[in-house]
Amino acid sequence: MSSLKKKAAAKQYRQQIRRCNELHVEYMHDERLRQSYEYFTGWQLDYLLPLFGDLHARTGYAEAINFIISDLAGIGISNRDHDLERAAPAITTMLPFRALVTVAATAEVNARVLEINLAIWRCLIVDKDLPAPITEHEYCVACRDASSLDECVSLVHKITELGRTLESLIEMPMIGITLRAMRAPAHAAGFGALQEFLEQGFFTFREIPDVDHFLSEIEVRMIEIFERIYTAPLEELRR
């Protein structure tokens, strides 16, 4: 592996995580907008999670589903993304090439999901306010204005591909030991949100009996959800 390839991966990571934080600026520095966006992401999480209700009953699935869907819904990710950008010099220096490529690809997907969520949120706003409450009909109309079924299905495939790439890390006992050892220094250095995200992701996925099967289930279910959002007759969604 050449140093040029690693530099290119590091550059990609820095660009994408910077893009995430540029997007967060749209709502983070205005209290009214921040509350509006947080209300939207909370509503989106409440809308998505019940659609995985039957999977929640399976051993090891509930926490992992909550972790993935809350991230897709955009719940509390601004602090994590801020930490990821601040930690970029250490991340790009310390990670081996393959891990860095994976992290860069994850940051790219994260930026695109955030772009779509912000676009949906903007489409829902009328006279500077969100509908109260948001209805499924209004949400689906906003989704169709903001994105497309093909784009969302493509993102689902990318997310599950990344999950399969990361599966090998779960089987490495040193990863868990290292994460625990990093806990106090990370919080002391101001990287608490990033540390909690990494720990939650690792220890949650480690409890899944069959990660491949879990990711396949998530992939199928998410595509079904997006097909409903983007193709169901809108009149049916008014009921």
Neighbours of 117 (CB within 10 A): 21
Rounded Cα distance, 83 and 92, in Å = 14
pLDDT at 167: 65
Out of 7-21, 96-110, 134-148, pick the least confident: 96-110
Dihedral sign for Cα atoms in the order 37, 126, 122, 74: positive
pTM: 0.84
In terms of Cβ atoms closer than 10 Å to its own Cβ (0-12, 13-18, 19+), residue 96 is exposed
pLDDT for residue 39 is more than 90: yes
Percent of the chain residues topping a pLDDT of 90: 32
- Maximal C-alpha separation, the chain: 58
pLDDT at 147: 96
Banded model confidence at residue 2, pLDDT cuts 50, 70, 90: low
pLDDT at 29: 87
Q: Which of 38, 233, 40 is nearest to 137 (CA)?
A: 233
Residue-wise pLDDT for 207-233, tens only, equals 777 878 888 988 999 999 999 999 999
Break the chain into its structural domains and give their ranges.
3-238
